[in-house]
Amino acid sequence: MNPQLQELKTRLLEVNDLNSANALLSWDQSTYMPSGGAPARGRQMATLARLAHEKFTDPAVGKLLDELRPYAESLPYDSDDASLIRVTRREYERATKIPAEFVARLNEHQAESYQVWTEARPANDFKRVQPYLEKTLDLSRQLANYFTGYEHIADPLIDFSDEGMKVSTLRPLFAELRAQLVPIVQAITAQPAADDACLKQNYPEAQQLAFGQEVIKALGYDFNRGRQDKTHHPFMTKFSLGDVRITTRVKERDLSDALFSTIHEAGHAMYEQGIRMDFEGTPLAGGTSSGVHESQSRTWENLVGRSQDFWMFFYPRIQAAFPEQLTGVSFETFCRAINKVERSLIRTDADEVTYNLHVMIRFDFEIALLEGNLAMRDLPEAWHARYQSDLGLRAPDDRDGVLQDVHWYGGIIGGSFQGYTLGNVISAQFFQSALKAQPGIPTQMRAGHFDALRGWLTENVYQHGSKFTANEIIQRATGRPLSIEPYIRYLRTKYRELYQL
């Protein structure tokens, strides 16, 4: 092997090990750590993050990348070595553009702001977090400005999570999507709402966990290379390609919460578990963007987990797991209940049809704030006005208005939300191509088998990790660029059937 490439890989492996150790500390913090561990844990994680950053931004890494340039240029674009060098350079340049002192200042502010938000939200006190949010906006602008030559100030921030996506491409995409979605929402909500009382009975935690695990095992989540634990806000995390974990929470008065969040996180995890093992320890060994990652959680949660094909196999099983609660509930009633569409105030509780409207509101506000066209003090009222016009609802307070999502309070303003809607759109585009290549997928699903779908996704998406960008993966896997058409078609077909529209 090329000696410089060997040395680069050795250095990258150390960075990876530090980051993985940090991820393990973070997982522990969210699952089993006693509260007394918090102060030291914060410090330990900051230390590991600093060491990883120092190692990765070492000028020796830049020198190796320079020396490897002719080698990379002599290889085809999609060769593993060329891809590793290309992706590492992109991340190296990004990491070295942001001064370490700024990263520390941002992290410190985010921790403080998050803490204040955890108190301000239950107290319904936006005024309390407003100065923190103003500083976050300021820091977000500074962060964007370390990257010169952008079209829009949000572009570098969007690029962090959805590389290659820009305001100028997302704005028309979202506008078109909105124009198509609003009539669908109107048609559905003009009908009597689906009755979901069957989901709101008492469902004991142990049985809920057992059923969820039975489902994700069938979907293909590998428990030999993962495990599931309980937490407050479900997430997926990875320590290596052989250890990809998920977490969940259970509400005993709600059957759908734990089940669908389990399938969602398993979707993220199956993406990571499907990456080629020889990418282990390199920047290629991870999902390629937040949009493509979310496309996989949404595929398994919605296109599979909320489909009639899936429940033709699993409905008798869930009835057997909960005979008292579900005997006598018809298949049709259950399918309509898990697909209930309604205008609501909270993004995380929204159904798959209205969900994107919540995302677009946030996306537009991020842009307006960064552009300076919306003052922070006006944000709460602007929020209410927009919910009124887009969803026909007004939250009784800011707690369920502008204070509801953690993203801006613990992160940055810009690039925080578009990945969710991109995920929905991409999921349908992949699914359509998978069905075309493997027409037997629905028949398999009705028999509780998912190999054909998982096989297509592994072949076309999972195995590549970060080797290709989102746009490249979409083009390669589906033969065309990102399009909202498959997603709209999917929603129309599904809900026409469910609601006899």
Window 404 to 423, contacts with Zn ion (CB under 5 A): none
Tokens coding 448: 């509780």
Nearer Cβ to Zn ion (297/427) = 297
3-state secondary structure of 124: coil
Name which of 443, 435, 411 is nearest 486 in CA terms: 435
Give CA–CA dist 42/85, Å, rounded: 33
* Residue 290 binds to Zn ion (criterion: CB under 5 A): no
Nearer Cβ to Zn ion (194/360) = 360
Nearer Cβ to Zn ion (161/308) = 161
Give CA–CA dist 291/422, Å, rounded: 5
Strands (E) located in 184-261: 228-230, 236-240, 243-248
CB of 431 to Zn ion, least distance (A): 17
Site stretch for Zn ion (CB under 5 A), options 3-11, 213-221, 296-304, 396-404: 296-304
CB of 140 to Zn ion, least distance (A): 22
**β-pairing, 228-230 with 236-240?**
unpaired
CB of 235 to Zn ion, least distance (A): 8
Give CA–CA dist 176/491, Å, rounded: 15
Size of the site for Zn ion (CB under 5 A): 1
Whether the CB-CB separation of 416 and 362 falls below 8 Å is answered with yes
3-state secondary structure of 238: strand
Pattern 297-336, Zn ion, x by CB under 5 A:
x---------------------------------------
Give CA–CA dist 41/229, Å, rounded: 19
Q: Residue 378: count other Cβ atoms within 10 Å of its Cβ.
A: 12
Tokens coding 66: 């320079």
> Taking CB positions, which residue lies at the least distance from Zn ion?
297
Tokens coding 398: 């800011």
Tokens coding 249: 């929470």
User: 396: exposed, middle or buried (C-beta count within 10 Å: 0-12, 13-18, 19+)?
Assistant: exposed
CB of 264 to Zn ion, least distance (A): 6
**Among this protein's residues, is 265 annotated catalytic?**
yes
Nearer Cβ to Zn ion (120/292) = 292
Strands (E) located in 9-152: none
**β-pairing, 243-248 with 228-230?**
parallel
Window 358 to 397, contacts with Zn ion (CB under 5 A): none
CB of 408 to Zn ion, least distance (A): 18
3-state secondary structure of 62: helix
Name which of 105, 149, 118 is nearest 412 in CA terms: 105
Site stretch for Zn ion (CB under 5 A), options 57-65, 172-180, 275-283, 294-302: 294-302
Site stretch for Zn ion (CB under 5 A), options 249-257, 290-298, 444-452, 458-466: 290-298
Nearer Cβ to Zn ion (297/308) = 297
Nearer Cβ to Zn ion (297/471) = 297
CB of 300 to Zn ion, least distance (A): 10
- Look at the block and give the residue holding tokens 């939300």: 417
Give bridge partners of residue 238 from the DSSP assignment. 244
CB of 465 to Zn ion, least distance (A): 18
Kindly name the residue from 163, 265, 272, 294 that is annotated as catalytic: 265
Give bridge partners of residue 237 from the DSSP assignment. 245
Window 213 to 242, contacts with Zn ion (CB under 5 A): none
Nearer Cβ to Zn ion (57/354) = 354
Catalytic annotation, residues: 265
**Residues near Zn ion (CB under 5 A):** 297
